[in-house]
Amino acid sequence: MQSGIWQESETAMVEMTNRSEVVPGENERFEELGRGCYAYSADGCSNTGVVIGSKGVLIVDAQATPALAEKVLKKVRELTDKPVKQVVLTHFHADNTLGALAFEPEEIIASDLTKRMMETRGVEEIRVARERDTALFNGLPVRAGVSKPSMTIASSMTIDLGGVEVRLMHLGRAHTMGDLVVWVPQSGVIFAGDLVQKAAVPYCGDAHLADWPRALDRITAFRPTALMPGRGKSAVGAQAVATAVETTRDFVITLRDAAAACVERGLGLKETFQAVYDALAGRFGSRTDFEFHLPISVARAYDEALGLDQPQVWTRERIVDLYDALDGAVATADATSNQTVEDTASSDAPSQEADAEAPLAGSEAKASDLVSDSEFAASLALGSEEDVAADDEDMELSAGDIVEDDKPSDKAETASSDKTSADKVLEDAR
């Protein structure tokens, strides 16, 4: 039985778990994006980037399970037998990271912030992810733990793969606090992770919606000719890249501003969800993952509009509370759990014991605890003007990397500060 909530404003079921029509790993695609640059995609899976140089191979994002990672590696081996030097994890989510060791890399690289998020959120992220999308994580070992990086970077790093220069960059808070993008200037290819989506909608449960448009501006400034998004086919050609970036921007800003307008009017979470659903459904309702992700994305937008700078940790309990708040039509938490991870094997109970014996830092936090109340958030929050300025100074991007537009985009700032614009979003939704 699948769970969901019934919307009064739309005869649409928003599903909490299990995209049953999708078989993860089917319809594999391995696209060449530019010289030495490739993108692997398949139904129901996050994308994986591949960069090949004379010294070795660099992988961007590692799939949800070792078995899915092996499918990518098989494609790579059809092109080269060179060793995998690095696996770059663009952020901490389980569907991008848990296959990392299957590539047998010399290094697993992530941002400092991503490592900290793995340490504080990693255990809960794995639990929730495999319960929400059981098909994707099918075959993942019961005791699978967080794929920890062996190397981290603060802002940027250049890797010489042998005739191919690869730049790893943190462009600011967006899809998560610690997103990296991978830029191959000689080929004009950028691997954007979940910062950009083309045919899918962005997942915003751990997002910083006020900052996300600025990170998109920075991607645009590179003027890439090909871009690998978080899921689905890549954008090839400057116009296709621009369209993918602007479509992502449109979704993020509409979500953010509609939620902010609702909070400004004193609406509750349920009413906010209904208004945001209406505001987005016409343009995005047919896109991959729209109904699957929207409740959690709206909850984050609602929190941010209330002034919660740091996303709360998503736990099983918090997701059930969310669906109860949205209409109370979610089946009991036990009903959901019993059909997912805890019923896949009788040995799952010991897995809970193992987690209890050696939890990662912060994994025992209650669902009601705000990350912004913790020492972690206090040390990493990048919301002030001083922090933003320091972030820009540390970016270490050369003039050759970025081509500035004549008129820098101010869409995000204008939209967030203009009350009339926010009201219009709500009127459009009505």
What CATH number did the domain enclosing 388 receive?
3.60.15.10
% the chain with pLDDT above 70: 71
User: Is the four-CA dihedral 410, 416, 422, 426 of positive or negative sign?
Assistant: positive
Kindly list the distances between the CA atom of residue 266 and the CA atoms of 259, 269, 302, in Å, as whole numbers in the listed order: 11, 10, 11
Give me the half-sphere count of Cα atoms (radius 13 Å) on the Cβ side of residue 254: 24
Q: Could you give the C-alpha distances from 310 to 187, 322, 334, in angstroms and in order?
A: 36, 18, 29
The answer to whether 130 and 340 are in contact (CB under 8 A) is: yes
Residue 352: what pLDDT? 32
Q: Where are the alpha helices (DSSP H) in 210-289?
A: 212-221, 238-264, 269-284
In this structure, the dihedral spanned by the alpha carbons of residues 423, 309, 366 and 205, taken in order and rounded to 10 degrees, is 60
User: Is the CB of residue 212 less than 8 Å from the CB of residue 197?
Assistant: no
Host H or E run for residue 85: strand 84-88
343-344-349 Cα angle (round to 5): 60
**What average pLDDT does range 338-355 have in this prediction?**
33
Number of domains present in the structure of the chain:
1
142-200 pLDDT, tens digit each: 899 999 999 999 999 999 999 999 999 999 999 999 999 999 999 999 999 999 999 99
- Is 418 part of a structural domain of the chain? no
Decide if pLDDT at 132 tops 70: yes
Residue at 285 is within a domain: no
Q: What is the pLDDT of residues 57-114, one digit of tens each?
A: 999 999 999 999 999 999 999 999 999 999 999 999 999 999 999 999 999 999 999 9
At 223-251, the pLDDT tens digits run 999 999 999 999 999 999 999 999 999 99
Q: Is residue 305 part of a domain?
A: no
For residue 36, tell me if it sits in a domain. yes
**Residue 327 falls inside a structural domain:** no
- What confidence score (pLDDT) does residue 399 get? 41
> Could you give the percent of the chain with pLDDT greater than 90?
70
Asked if the model's pLDDT at residue 1 lies above 70, the reply is no
Mean pLDDT value across residues 198-212: 98
* pLDDT(206) > 80: yes
Mean pLDDT, the chain, whole residue set:
80
How distant is the alpha carbon of residue 379 from its chain centre? 22
Q: Is residue 287 part of a domain?
A: no
SS (H, E, C) 381-411: CCCCHHHHHHHHHCCCCCCCCCCCCCCCCCH
Question: What is the dihedral angle through the alpha carbons of 167, 172, 173, 174, rounded to the nearest 10 degrees?
Answer: -70
pLDDT score recorded for residue 424: 52
Higher pLDDT residue, 381 or 268? 268
Tens digits of residue pLDDT in 21-60: 789 999 999 999 999 999 999 999 999 999 999 999 999 9
pLDDT tens per residue, range 375-410: 433 343 333 344 444 444 445 454 444 433 333 334
| Residue 22: predicted pLDDT | 82
| Spatial CA neighbour of 194 closest among 183, 203, 184 | 203
Q: Which two tokens stand for residue 406?
A: 């004549």
| pLDDT higher than threshold 70 for residue 18 | no
Quote the domain boundaries for residue 19. Answer: 15-235+332-411
**What pLDDT, on a 0 to 100 scale, did the predictor assign at position 327?**
78
Query: Within a domain: residue 185?
Result: yes
Classify residue 306: in a domain, yes or no. no
